Amino acid sequence: MEVHVSAMRGKMGTRTYYACLMPMNAVPQFFKFTDWSGISPEDREQRVLNIKRVPDLATYITENEEDYLFSSITASYKSEPRFEPYGPGMDIGVLKLRLGDELIINDGQHRAAGIVQALKDGSAEFREDTLSVLLFPWENTDRVQQMFSDLNRFVQKTSKSLDILYDKRDDTAAATLAMIEKVPVFKELTEKEKVSLESKSTKLFTLAALYDANVELLKGHDKNDIMANAQLLTDYWTEVAKHMPDWTKVLSGQKLAIELRQEKISSHSTVLRALGGLGVDLLANEGWSAALSGLEGIDWSKKNSEWENVCIVANSVVSNRQARAATKAFIKAKLGLNLTDGEQRSLERASA
């Protein structure tokens, strides 16, 4: 029995390949998922499938069935398929694949596994959708390994900031971007593409750092409404910015961003996330904005020995979970706010 798929025939280097459109419900029938975990790396044809990624990919499909998007899967065939052109000499036609023939995935095994999982989960809306597949002849293990290397060698992961900027499905990202437009210091001084600031950057913040801070801030206050969340974020960070004179100096041109970043930690991602976490506690109370005036009394200088083992270790600012917790506790203490037992312990560990 054969499956017929629309295809184009092409040539890449010395090899003939096919670009075809395969129904989603044919993916489980044709693609081979080998458990490589018990095989030595030099003998594998693929990397080991990370099964933890599969549910997220399946959920992505089922929750976005009207506008999900996948790039092509590249695979190798061992049994030569039959290609029948629509006319003499044409490279467009029908590719005939035999049921039972397995395709060895060179690139895209997690995408394929996500599709299989989504089909198992019972979603029928996308079953007849088509997936773009590039098919090359299988030659030997060395060739398959080389294909995997070639396909992945020059892949560059987009930055987290750029992912946030372009992701229209993430409500927190949307609220963060709306907030940035309304808070002048963020609007003018936020790097929206790179995840870290270059040494000569004129910016103080990254979009990724503000997003992470807002994830903290919205815990317990998320209204499940983008504009309501954006307003909450705007209100909070506007008040914070009023009491961060160093930020204002950079905004007004009185101080260079590079100088502030070199001298102080007030715009560091660790501090921003701590301030976001602080907001969760403050926003639960009336008159919360008054408490933020205490930020002006904090010495944000890297030379301030109080930061040692809080968020500065060996003269470098660290951003791990322990540092963020200790930084939040430190700021709360400076503002005269009550600390939880856990926050008190985090400060005690820092001073030990």
Distance between first and last Cα of the chain: 73
CA–CA distance, 299 with 296 (Å, rounded to integer): 8
pLDDT score at 151: 80
In terms of Cβ atoms closer than 10 Å to its own Cβ (0-12, 13-18, 19+), residue 100 is: exposed
SS3 at position 175:
helix
* Spatial separation of the C-alpha atoms in residues 33 and 42, rounded to whole Å: 18
**Which residues is 190 bridged to in the sheet?**
205
User: What per-residue confidence (pLDDT) applies to 222?
Assistant: 64
Q: Please name the residue ranges forming H helices in the chain.
A: 27-30, 54-63, 109-120, 141-153, 160-166, 171-182, 184-189, 207-217, 226-242, 245-252, 257-263, 269-282, 288-291, 321-334, 341-351
| Contact partners, residue 213, CB within 8 Å, separation at least 6 | 269, 272, 273, 275, 276
- pLDDT recorded at residue 223: 67
Any idea where the domains of the chain sit in the sequence? 2-153, 160-351
Q: What pLDDT sits at residue 11?
A: 93
| Alpha-carbon distance values, 332 to 78, 293, 343, 350 (Å) | 64, 12, 9, 15
Which pLDDT score is estimated for 86?
94
Distance, CA of 241 to CA of 205 (rounded, Å) = 13
pLDDT tens-place values along the chain, 352 residues long = 778 889 999 999 899 999 999 888 888 888 877 776 767 777 777 777 888 888 999 888 888 888 888 889 999 888 888 999 999 989 999 999 887 777 888 888 899 999 899 888 866 678 888 899 999 988 888 888 888 888 878 777 778 888 888 888 889 999 999 999 999 999 999 999 988 999 899 999 999 999 999 999 998 776 678 899 999 999 999 999 999 999 999 999 999 999 999 999 999 999 999 999 999 999 888 889 999 999 999 999 999 999 999 999 988 999 888 899 999 999 999 999 888 888 888 888 877 6
